[in-house]
Amino acid sequence: MDEDVRRLSAERLQRLGEELFVACGAPPADAALVAAELVDASLMGLESHGVTRYVMYVEEVLAGRIRPGAPVRVVRQTANLAVVDCGLNFGAVAASRMVEIACAKAQAAGIAYVVSRHCHHVGRLGGWVQKVAERGLFGLAVANSSKHGHFVVPWGGREGRLATNPLAFAAPTSGRPVVLDMSTSMIAEGKIRVLLHAGQQVPPGRVQDADGRPTTDPQRFYGPPRGTILPLGGELGYKGFGLALLVEILGSVLAGEPLTDDFRYINGLGLLAIDPKPLCGRRRFRSLMDQLCAYITSCPPAPGHEEVTMPGELDFRTKEQRQRDGIPLPATTCRQLEAVAAKVGLEVHL
Amino acid sequence: MDEDVRRLSAERLQRLGEELFVACGAPPADAALVAAELVDASLMGLESHGVTRYVMYVEEVLAGRIRPGAPVRVVRQTANLAVVDCGLNFGAVAASRMVEIACAKAQAAGIAYVVSRHCHHVGRLGGWVQKVAERGLFGLAVANSSKHGHFVVPWGGREGRLATNPLAFAAPTSGRPVVLDMSTSMIAEGKIRVLLHAGQQVPPGRVQDADGRPTTDPQRFYGPPRGTILPLGGELGYKGFGLALLVEILGSVLAGEPLTDDFRYINGLGLLAIDPKPLCGRRRFRSLMDQLCAYITSCPPAPGHEEVTMPGELDFRTKEQRQRDGIPLPATTCRQLEAVAAKVGLEVHL
């Protein structure tokens, strides 16, 4: 695209986020935490979960669907399990608290599983398991969504019954952690919207029209009537479907929550943490992870590929580059951020 | 294929398995357990993990790589974690013991994770999580393999670094449990061998030749030099690769085991069990699972599909049918079974 792109420093965007969320009524520490998560996603090149979300978050606060400062409460717990009611505070505030709880329990008891209720959009799922790995533990996370986000068909179906239901895991190494963060579907709805606006086609095998027929036309997808997204796997899509169900169960069913359609951006966050200490020792775990990484990345690349990297590696490299060179933001995004700032009484020029 | 196919009752094949494994030196209860798992897979139509494996298991015993009656010992444990040394006993004997340990710990402590060392081929992975679900718990299992089974490339690579690394989960409902059992690759090596013998092509997008170029020719796959299998996902194969790493970590790294190439059929089995009781109650969990199943299966089918079913449902239907009509076995398989029986001094006519 030829659109004007500005480069802004992570510090500038962090400050903007803090100002916006404080103006929305968030305690300063919470505002900083939410902004830091979104800036981190932007640094890593994951635009859809980056600072463009400032706009949506502020609008959700103004609509009363995010409740800044709301208590995040443990409503049920044992030594290694917890159900956390997030009270519709910012998802990042809730997820951060859930990471604390899961890690504390796993460090004390070896393993812990924590699941949310009333949790708003958690942002980059990989960020939460990365924090678990940074403490030397293994972390696995899943996030489902309320019915509003049910764009994805079950295998063989033609109506949406699931969201893109991402799952993520992270494990420590001597260097950067291994961080996988993936949806269990063929494409995210946000990416189809980008293709629609750009007048481009969706790659084959990703979406269906409302009759359940394959299409590559974003307009056939959006309808009305609206089409659907296929589960990960192509001809093996029953696998992606099964993984989406796994996310559904670990992210929501075990919390005792029925399927909801009340809110647009509710995530059911499930978080598992395992401390390698009682199993093989943290040092040995890290060392075996190093061996695994060396074995995998020693694989010579196939034609068309330059190297074999561990999950997350390319994101970390993008982060280093953007920390030096700034985060590229389309001018339209800058204008949207300025407009939403004005809504909460801030004068911002990006 | 026009090959002569015989139909044998589950009871007949169970008895055969018991006789074979007792003749190999297995205690009668262990022999019955191993046979029952393989017969169950055959009943469900999962031939590659069914009674055809009798042949391989007996040969592994004769080669000293399965050790009937070897103690299965917990070598490290806490209230909710365990590392289990399976002593190269039959994988099913070890996995069955690991299910007992995981369920007992989860029922006492809410959640448990158990991981193996020196575990032989565990058979149908879904069978172990199904047993967890039959007790009202949620179960997740993974199985990696020794280097011998590393047919699968990491994303973008051209040498095998991973096995087909299956994962499985099961959850209880009021009816049959939901049971997903899937590899994280595009095809199993065994299926390519079947296509080779039948003179058929591999579907596109499944395998590469030794240079990392796409091929549909089983002969190009087998070489020499040998080709490789692609991870699940096609153009999104970094997802299948990431899932295979998840299996690697939960199935082996956390047990403190380095990558091995000593034995052909070693599985690293990782098993997670969660008791819904302290989270939302077992009855509520089951009821919410019923709601989820109803919501999913109410989805109208896409063109070319007859219905939307939950994972495992079609296998259970095949089992019902085969319990009535018998298990179809090619005459060549029957002859192989008779031959291996003769090796342990049994005269068998199928």
Report ipTM for this prediction: 0.97
Q: At what angle do helices A313-325 and A28-43 cross, to 10 degrees?
A: 110
The answer for residues whose C-beta is within 8 angstroms of residue B100's C-beta and 6 or more apart is: none
Give B292's contacts in chain A (Cβ within 8 Å).
Answer: 245, 248-249, 253, 259
CA–chain centroid gap for B329, Å, is 20
* Fold classified for B1-66+328-350: Hypothetical Oxidoreductase Yiak; Chain: A, domain 1 (1.10.1530)
Question: Over 70: is that where the pLDDT of B261 sits?
Answer: no
Chain A contact for B241 (CB, 8 A cutoff)? yes
Q: Residue B262: its pLDDT value, please?
A: 66
Query: Does the beta carbon of B344 lie under 8 angstroms from any beta carbon of chain A?
Result: no
**Which residues in chain A have their CB less than 8 angstroms from residue B243's CB?**
180, 182, 243
Largest CA distance in chain B: 56
Please provide residue A19's backbone torsions phi and psi, each rounded to the nearest 5 degrees: -65, -45
> Among the CATH numbers 3.30.70.3270, 3.30.60.50, 3.40.1390.10, 3.40.50.410, which is that of A187-229?
3.30.60.50
Q: Kindly state the average pLDDT of the residues B337-342.
A: 98
User: Which residues of chain A lie closer than 8 angstroms to B256, CB-CB?
Assistant: 279-281, 284-285, 288
Q: Return the residue matching tokens 């990297």.
A: A309
Distance, first Cα to last Cα, chain A: 20
For residue B117, the model assigns a pLDDT of 94
Mutate to test the interface with B, among A75, A275, A295 (most CBs of B within 10 A): A295
pLDDT tens figures, A311-340: 999 999 999 999 999 999 999 999 999 999
Fold for A7-65+327-350, please state it: Hypothetical Oxidoreductase Yiak; Chain: A, domain 1 (1.10.1530)
Interhelix angle B28-43/B125-133, nearest 10 degrees: 100
Q: Are A87 and A55 in contact (CB under 8 A)?
A: no
- Three-point CA angle A310, A312, A315, nearest 5°: 130
Tell which CATH architecture fits domain A70-185+235-311: 2-Layer Sandwich (3.30)
Chain A residue with minimal CA distance to B212?
A302
Give the chain A residue nearest B294 (alpha carbons). Answer: A161
Percent of chain A at pLDDT > 90 equals: 92
Pairs of residues, one from chain A and one from chain B, whose beta carbons lie less than 8 Å apart:
251
Residue B259 has pLDDT above 80, yes or no: no
Neighbours of B349 (CB within 10 A): 6
Work out the mean pLDDT of chain B and round it to a whole number: 95
Q: In chain B, where does DSSP find H-type helix?
A: 10-23, 28-43, 53-62, 91-109, 125-133, 189-198, 218-222, 237-251, 282-297, 313-325, 331-343
Task: Tell me which fold the domain B70-184+237-298 belongs to.
Answer: Ribosomal Protein S8; Chain: A, domain 1 (3.30.1370)
Q: Which residue of A has its CA nearest to B140?
A: A246
Query: pLDDT tens digits for A95-154?
Result: 999 999 999 999 999 999 999 999 999 999 999 999 999 999 999 999 999 888 899 999
Contact between chains at B249 and A161 (C-beta distance less than 8 A): no
pLDDT of residue A1: 46
Q: Is B138 on the interface with A (CB under 8 A)?
A: yes
Residue spans of the domains in chain B: they are 1-66+328-350, 70-184+237-298, 187-229
